[in-house]
Amino acid sequence: MSDTGDNQYNYDYDLLYKLVLIGDSGVGKSNLLSRYSNNDFQINSKSTIGVEFATKAVKVDGKIIKAQIWDTAGQERYRAITKAYYRGAVGALIVYDITNTKTYENCSDWLNILSTNLENNDIVIGLIGNKKDLQHQRSVPIEEAQEFARNNQLLFTETSALSNENVEKAFTELITTIYENSKHQTGMETVTKNNSSSIGAGNTVSLTKSNKEKKSSSSGQCC
Amino acid sequence: MKIIYCKAGCFLHPTKNLKDNINGYIIIYKSLDNFLYLGYIKKSSLTTSYVDYFDTLDLYFVKDSIIDQKPTRVDLNISGGIDFANKYLYYSFPFDSINLIHFRKPSKFYKGSILIKLLNSKEFVIFLHDDECESTKKIKQFKIKTQYNPFDNKNELYYGGEDLKRAIMKVTPMMREKNNENVYILNNKVSSFTSDLENKDTGSFWNNLENTKWSLMAKFADLSVSLTSKETYKKNEKVKWVMNKIQEIAPEESKKFIIEQQRYLQHWAERFKNNSEQEGIIKLRKIEMTNDGKEFIYQTERDSVLDLNEIMDDEGYLKITMFELRSLFNFNNISNEIRIKMYPILLGVYDISSNELKRLQDDENMKLEYEKLSTKLNLSTGNDNFSGDGLDENSFQILKDVYRLSSMDPILANDEGEEEENWSLSNEHLISINRILLNLTQNHPTQYVQGMADIVSTIYLLYPSQEALVYNISLRMFDDLKLRENFREDQKGITHNLDILNILTDILMPSLMKKLKQIDAENFVYVYKMFLVLFTRENFKSHDLLKFWDYTIAGFRKYPQTWIVLGILYKYKKYIINQVSSFDDLFIFFNKLEIENADEILQISDWLYLKYFNTIKRFDMERLKWDVDNEADDPLGPTLRGILDQPID
C-alpha cells in the first residue's frame, strides 16, 4: 500500500470507503485526521461542532481507494445529530485518550451507538488509544484495551497524533481490512468510481466476514 | 358647521382592485342644529382649494393626538355650511345612530380599518391608509422616537385608528365591549335618528359597495392578527391544496400579483427611506423590484454606511430610531466601528436613548455586577486555577474548548510551551473567555455545549479586555436572540429551526425540496452548524462572517438565520439539483462551502422573505372564496403566520 496523495486522485479512484471517527470529546480525533490526511498537527485545534470531513487516497493491491473520513463531535449533546452521518459507513475508528480512563470506559457506549445506528453490521471497527506520547500520564493499561478489542473483534492500535506514531498504520489497517473483506465477499468488483455514490447507501458492498477472520485481523495488531 | 376632527387617507374599497379605491376624509363635525355627525368626504369631489384645506385640517389636529387636551374646534371657513354638507359629504350620520365601532388594527396583510355598525344593522367599513395620512405619519414618527420598542409585543405600533378613536371619545361616550377590546359601543337601542338615516341618500352607494365582501376581508384582517388556529400546516389538506395552487400560478398572474402586493411590504421601508433621505441620515436599501418574482438576479451590492457620525452625534446620542437602526443592520453593509458601537444598543445592553457618558457609567455598573457574579462561581470550577485539575464536568468542558481557541486569533495564543496535558490557560484573554462561559452556563440548566465558546470568542474579539460587556452581550444573544435554545439537550430549539427551514424550502423552492427528499436529505442536518454557531469564518472566502451576524443581531426578522440559510440554499439550488447525488455528497458540499459574496446571499434572503410574504397574502385572498364564518378556522396556523413576525409590524 502506498499513499497517493489526495489532490492527485481527487477525482480518480477505484473504490470509495466511508469511515467515521468517533469517541469522547478531546481525545484527539480531529488531530488524528489532520495528521493522517495532511500530515498536520495543531496543538490547539478547535473543538469539532457537528461533523467535519477529510479525504485521503491510498493505493491497495494496485487499486486506488479514496477514504472519505467523517470526524464527529465527541460531546454527548451531539450524539443525536452525529449518528445521522454514520449511514453508509464501512469502517469506524473509536478513539480514546490513554491518559483519561473515562474516555476508555465510554468506548463500549460508542460501540453500542455504532451497532444501533448502522443498517449494515458488516463494518470494520478499530479501537485507537491516542496520546501515546503522554506515557507518564497513562491511566489505561494497554493490556486491558487489547483484551477489550479482542472480545469485541476490533482492530487495535495505540497512536500519537502529536509525534505521528502509528497514525498511518491505524488507518491503513482499517482500510486494508475492509478491502480484503470486500475482496473475499465480492471479488472486488462491486464498488467502483462509477457507482461510488451507492456505497453511501450501504447496499452495494458487503463486508461480512466470519468472526474467525475478524479475530485474526485484529489479533497481533496492537503496538 | 364646525369641524372637530379631520383625518386624511381614509379609503373605501368598493372592489378588491386597488384602482377602484376611493380616497377621502373622515370628519367629525357639529351641524348648525348642534348635532354631532361622523362624515366621509370623497376627495375627488373636492376642488383643489378644498383638498388643501382638508389636508391642512388633518395636520391641525395632530397635537390633539400627541398631547391630551380638550378638542379644538375649527369653524369651517365656508359660506353655506348646509350646502357644503349636502354637496360634498359622501355620507354622514349622527353619532346617536351608531350602535358600535370596531377599530381594527393593521396586520401584516391588511390596512387598519373601522367597521361602523348602525342601529339599523347596516355596516360600513372604512380603511385607514396610514401611509397616505400625513397626520398619522407624524404621530407615528413621534411615538416611535419616544416609545416604540420592537421587542415588546404590548407596545404595539401606532396606527390611524388610535387618534380617530381618541377624537370620537372626546365628543361622545363609548363603552368597550367586554369580549373584544377593540369594539366600542355607542348606543344600544334604536334612536329617533334611525328613520332619518334610512331616508338619507346613502343607500345607493353602499348597496353597490359589495359591502359584505369587504366586511369579510376585515374579518381576515382580524384573523391574521389574532392567530387563533391550532391546526398545523403539514396536516391541513386545504393548505396543501392552496399552496400547490399558488405554486402553479401562471407567471403573468404571479407577476401582476406580486407587483400589486409588494406595496404592502414596501410602505414601511419606503417611508423610512424617504424620511431618512430627507434628513440626510441614512439610506435604507430598497428591496429590488426588478426581479420578476420567479428568479433572483443579483445586481449591485447593498448600500454601505461606514461613518459612525452619520448615525451618532458628538455626545454619542443616536440620531436614528431603534427601528431605523434595525433596518440599517438588516439592509445595509456597515463598518466595524458602527458594528462595535451598535451591537450593545441593538441587544439592549445600553439604552437606545443613552449618550457616551451614560454608557461609560453603565460600563462601570456592569463591571461591579459582573465582579459580584464572578465571585459566586463555584471554586471547583478552577476560577483561580485555570487548569484541568479537579474540575467538574461543565467547567472541564469549557476549559478544554477555551484552551483550543488559542489558534483562532493571535491575541488568544497561549504561551509557548503550554502543553495540552493539563489544559492550563496562561493567556489573559482566554482566562476571561473561560470565566464568561462559566458565568453564562454554570447556573443554567443547559450547561456548556461545544459551540458556545465559538460564539463568545467571536464577540470577545470585537471587545477585547471588556469582559463584563462581552458577558452581557453574550447573555442577550443566548437568551433574547434564543441562541441558547439551539444547544438544549432535548434538541427542541434546533429542531424547531430546522422544521421552519423545511416548511419554507417546501413552499419557496419546491424543486429543491423534491431533490432533497430523493436523497433523504430533508432533515437539513448538514446546515446544523450554521444555526448553532451563527456560521464560521471557514464558510467565507472573504471576511464577511459578521455581515451574517449583523443580519441576526438586527432583530428585524423572527428567524434571521433561517432566511440566511434559505438564501444559501437558493444560491446553490441548481448545483444541488443537478450535481449532488447523495446525502453524503450534499454534506461534503456544505462542509467545503466557501461563500463568495455574503451581500448577495442576504439580498436573496430578503427576496425570499418577500416571496413568502406574497405567498401568504395570496393564500388569504384565496380564502375569500371559502366559508370563513368560523374565525378560529385559520388553516395556515400560527407557525406559518408567525414566520413573518417582525418589529415593523
Sequence spans of domains, chain A = 15-185
Q: Which three cell numbers stand for residue B429?
A: 484573554
| Higher per-residue confidence, B348 vs A187 | B348
Query: Among the listed ranges A1-5, A43-47, B58-62, B213-217, which one has the minimum average pLDDT value?
Result: B213-217
Closest CA to B185 of B91, B112, B116: B116
> What pLDDT was estimated at residue B174?
75
Confidence of residue B623 (pLDDT cuts 50, 70, 90): low
Q: Residue B615: is it exposed, middle or buried by C-beta count within 10 angstroms (0-12/13-18/19+)?
A: buried
Helix, strand or coil for residue B378? coil
pLDDT tens-digit series, residues B117-152: 887 777 888 999 888 888 888 877 776 655 544 444
Partners of A160 in the beta sheet? Answer: A165
Share of chain B above pLDDT 90, in %: 25
pLDDT tens-digit series, residues B268-290: 344 444 544 444 333 333 333 33
Q: Which three cell numbers stand for residue A17?
A: 470507503
Partner-chain contact A75 B397, CB within 8 Å = yes
* CA B342/CA B361 separation, integer angstroms: 17
- Look up residue B82 and give its amino acid: I
> What pLDDT was estimated at residue B379?
52
Confidence of residue B64 (pLDDT cuts 50, 70, 90): low
Partner-chain contact B450 A73, CB within 8 Å = yes
Confidence of residue B206 (pLDDT cuts 50, 70, 90): very low
Query: Among the listed ranges B11-25, B223-237, B447-461, B520-534, which one has the minimum average pLDDT value?
Result: B223-237
Partner-chain contact B528 A50, CB within 8 Å = yes
Q: Residue A166: is it exposed, middle or buried by C-beta count within 10 angstroms (0-12/13-18/19+)?
A: buried
- Average pLDDT of chain B, as a whole number: 75
- A121 min Cα distance to partner chain B (Å): 19
Average pLDDT over residues B69-82: 48
- The DSSP-derived string for A52-103 is EEEEEEEEETTEEEEEEEEEE--SGGGHHHHGGG-TT-SEEEEEEETT-HHH
Query: Among the listed ranges B76-85, B148-157, B281-290, B387-396, which one has the minimum average pLDDT value?
Result: B281-290
Per the CB < 8 A criterion, the answer to whether B30 and B13 are in contact is: no
Residue B393 has pLDDT above 50, yes or no: yes
Per the CB < 8 A criterion, the answer to whether B481 and B538 are in contact is: no
- Chain A contact for B405, CB < 8 A? yes
Average pLDDT over residues B231-256: 46
Nearest CA in chain A to B400: A26
Nearest to A197 among B525, B585, B592 (CB): B585
Partner-chain contact A18 B584, CB within 8 Å = yes
Closest CA to B394 of B489, B303, B290: B489
Gyration radius of chain A's alpha carbons: 16
Query: Among the listed ranges B26-35, B152-161, B295-304, which one has the minimum average pLDDT value?
Result: B152-161
- Average pLDDT of chain A, as a whole number: 78
Partner-chain contact A197 B401, CB within 8 Å = no
B214-227 core/surface letters (b: 16 or more CB in 10 A; e: else) = bbbbbebbbbbbeb
Sheet of A155-158: strands edge to edge? A2-3, A51-60, A63-72, A15-23, A91-97, A124-130, A155-158
| Other CB atoms within 10 Å distance of the CB of residue B152 | 10
Question: Which H helix or E strand runs over B137?
Answer: helix B134-146
* CA B572/CA B539 separation, integer angstroms: 14
Strands B2-12 and B123-128: antiparallel
CATH code linked to domain B2-185: 2.30.29.30
Interface residue of A43, A46, A99 to substitute, partner B, most B CBs within 10 Å: A46
* ipTM here: 0.71
Closest CA to B500 of B560, B458, B556, B549: B560
Residues written for chain A: 223
pLDDT tens-digit series, residues A2-19: 444 444 434 578 899 999
Average pLDDT over residues B582-595: 88
Residue B344 has pLDDT above 90, yes or no: yes
Query: Is the backbone of residue B184 left (phi > 0), alpha (psi -120 to 50) or beta?
Result: beta
pLDDT tens-digit series, residues A129-181: 999 999 999 999 999 999 999 999 999 999 999 999 999 999 999 999 999 98
Residue A116 has pLDDT above 90, yes or no: no
- B485 min Cα distance to partner chain A (Å): 13
| Higher per-residue confidence, B148 vs B161 | B161
Q: Which three cell numbers stand for residue B299?
A: 445586481
* CA B272/CA A88 separation, integer angstroms: 54
Sequence spans of domains, chain B = 2-185, 369-480
Backbone angles phi, psi at B77, to 5 degrees: -80, 70
Share of chain A above pLDDT 70, in %: 74
* CA B127/CA B104 separation, integer angstroms: 9
Q: How far is CA B571 from CA A127, B296, B567, B604, in A?
A: 41, 9, 6, 8
CATH level 3 topology of A15-185: Rossmann fold (3.40.50)
| Other CB atoms within 10 Å distance of the CB of residue A10 | 11
- Look up residue A136 and give its amino acid: H
Query: Residues 461..500 of B with a Cβ closer than 8 Å to A: which?
Result: 487, 489, 491
Q: Mind spelling out the 3-state secondary structure of B606-627?
A: HHHHHHHHHHHHHHHHHHCCCC
- Look up residue B311 and give its amino acid: I
- Chain A contact for B261, CB < 8 A? no
Partners of A19 in the beta sheet? Answer: A69, A91
pLDDT tens-digit series, residues B84-110: 666 777 878 888 788 889 888 877 667
Residue A195 has pLDDT above 80, yes or no: no
pLDDT tens-digit series, residues B461-506: 999 999 999 999 999 999 999 999 999 888 889 999 999 999 899 8
Nearest to A46 among B405, B585, B588 (CB): B405
- B519 min Cα distance to partner chain A (Å): 10
Closest CA to B512 of B608, B594, B596, B637: B608
Q: Mind spelling out the 3-state secondary structure of B72-127?
A: CCEECCCCCHHHHHHHHEEEEEEHHHEEEEEEECCCCCCCEEEEEEECCCCEEEEE
- A194 min Cα distance to partner chain B (Å): 12
Q: Which three cell numbers stand for residue A151?
A: 472480545
Residues 6+ apart with CB under 8 A from A194: none
* CA B395/CA B488 separation, integer angstroms: 17
> What pLDDT was estimated at residue B202?
35
| Higher per-residue confidence, B404 vs B274 | B404
**CB half-sphere exposure, B76, CA atoms < 13 A:** 22
* CA B318/CA B325 separation, integer angstroms: 9
A206-215: long-range contacts at Cβ-Cβ below 8 A with a sequence spacing of 24 or more?
A206/A120, A206/A122, A206/A182, A207/A90, A207/A120, A207/A122, A207/A123, A207/A124, A207/A178, A207/A181, A207/A182, A208/A122, A208/A181, A209/A122, A209/A181, A209/A184, A209/A185, A211/A153, A213/A181, A213/A184, A214/A124, A214/A153, A215/A150, A215/A153
| Other CB atoms within 10 Å distance of the CB of residue B230 | 8
Helix, strand or coil for residue B8? strand
| Higher per-residue confidence, B521 vs B319 | B521
Confidence of residue B460 (pLDDT cuts 50, 70, 90): very high
Helix, strand or coil for residue A38? helix
Q: Which three cell numbers stand for residue B491?
A: 434538541
Closest CA to B539 of B588, B600, B599, B594: B594
Strands A91-97 and A15-23: parallel
Q: What is the DSSP letter of B527?
A: G
Q: Where are the alpha helices (DSSP H) in A88-141?
A: 101-105, 107-117
- B564 min Cα distance to partner chain A (Å): 19
Furthest-apart CA atoms within chain A: distance in Å: 49
pLDDT tens-digit series, residues B174-204: 777 766 778 888 776 433 333 333 333 333 3
Per the CB < 8 A criterion, the answer to whether B18 and B144 are in contact is: no
- B486 min Cα distance to partner chain A (Å): 11
> What pLDDT was estimated at residue B156?
55
> What pLDDT was estimated at residue B84?
62
- Chain B contact for A141, CB < 8 A? no
Partner-chain contact A49 B587, CB within 8 Å = no
- Chain A contact for B414, CB < 8 A? yes
> What pLDDT was estimated at residue B189?
47
Average pLDDT over residues B393-414: 85
C-alpha B208 chain-centroid distance: 37
Dihedral sign from CA coordinates of B164, B167, B168, B174: positive
Interface residue of A41, A44, A75, A203 to substitute, partner B, most B CBs within 10 Å: A44
